[in-house]
Amino acid sequence: MRVVEKEQVMGATEMDRTIQRLGHEIVEKSGGAGNLVLIGIRRRGVPLAQRLAKAIRAIDGSVVPVGTLDITLYRDDLSLVAPQPVVHSTEIPFSVDDRDVVLVDDVLYTGRTVRAAMNGLFDLGRPKRVRLCVLIDRGHRELPIEATFVGRYVQTSDTEIIEVRLEEVDREERVMLVERVP
């Protein structure tokens, strides 16, 4: 099974503009950043959440706490996946009780990752509200889950994959549409 690059969906400049725009949206639709917390879903949701926090700080000066959530143990497909995924730490050094939580991830696809993230989040406490922010929404939902803040909607087919590549993780900065080829 190979992966073939088909087209670039976003370049570095566009990604940055989108993140800035999302930052503004989040501040606007939260009535200020006072009670806000950002929780990045490992792996790429984490640097995105950090960038959003930075953007929000530039916008209205608020320092929004950022946490990291590992969803491995909450996945619904563990008995199908081998080799076994390695579990990483969840680091949320603040209480989520009564907080306005924005979950951050790179791509929204079937929704199962977000479902697992919410399970993990609710093991930690009882947020006041949970909303979702993603860079790309590629459709094909299998669960009743939607994102409040979306960078861009991209139509994809079943054999295609959206790869978000971030400097912090992949040492490049772009969003690619790739195809799985037998």
Partner 1 sequence: MPHRLRHLLGIEPLSAAQIADLLEQAKPFQEIQRHPLKKLATLRGKSVALAFFEPSTRTRISFATAATRLGADTMQLQAEASSLQKGESLLDTVWTLDAMKPDCIVMRHRSSGAPHFVAQHLEIPVINAGDGMHEHPTQALLDALTIRDRKGTLEGLRVAIIGDILHSRVARSNIHLLAKFGCRFTLVGPAMWVPRELEDLAPHVRRVARIEEALEGTDVVLVLRVQLERLHEPALPLDEYIHLYQLTPERLHRAKPDVIVLHPGPMNRGVEIDPVVADGPHSCILEQVTNGVAVRMNLLYVLIGGPPLGMEETHAAD
Residues that bind partner 1 (CB under 8 A): 70, 72-75, 77-91, 109-110, 112-113, 119, 122-125
Nearest distance in Å: CB 162, partner 1: 12
Residues near 173 by beta carbon (within 8 Å), at least 6 away in sequence: 11, 12, 15, 165, 166, 167
State whether residue 19 is helix, strand or coil: helix
Nearest distance in Å: CB 68, partner 1: 11
Torsion sign (Cα): 94, 116, 103, 148? negative
- The nearer residue to partner 1, 13 or 84, going by C-beta atoms, is 84
- The nearer residue to partner 1, 63 or 87, going by C-beta atoms, is 87
Residue 106 near residue 170, CB atoms below 8 Å: no
Q: State how far the Cα of 118 lies from the Cα of 99, in Å rounded to an integer.
A: 14
Nearest distance in Å: CB 12, partner 1: 26
Nearest distance in Å: CB 115, partner 1: 11
Per the structure block, which two tokens stand in for 150? 């979306």
- The nearer residue to partner 1, 35 or 72, going by C-beta atoms, is 72
- The nearer residue to partner 1, 28 or 76, going by C-beta atoms, is 76
DSSP code for 91 = B
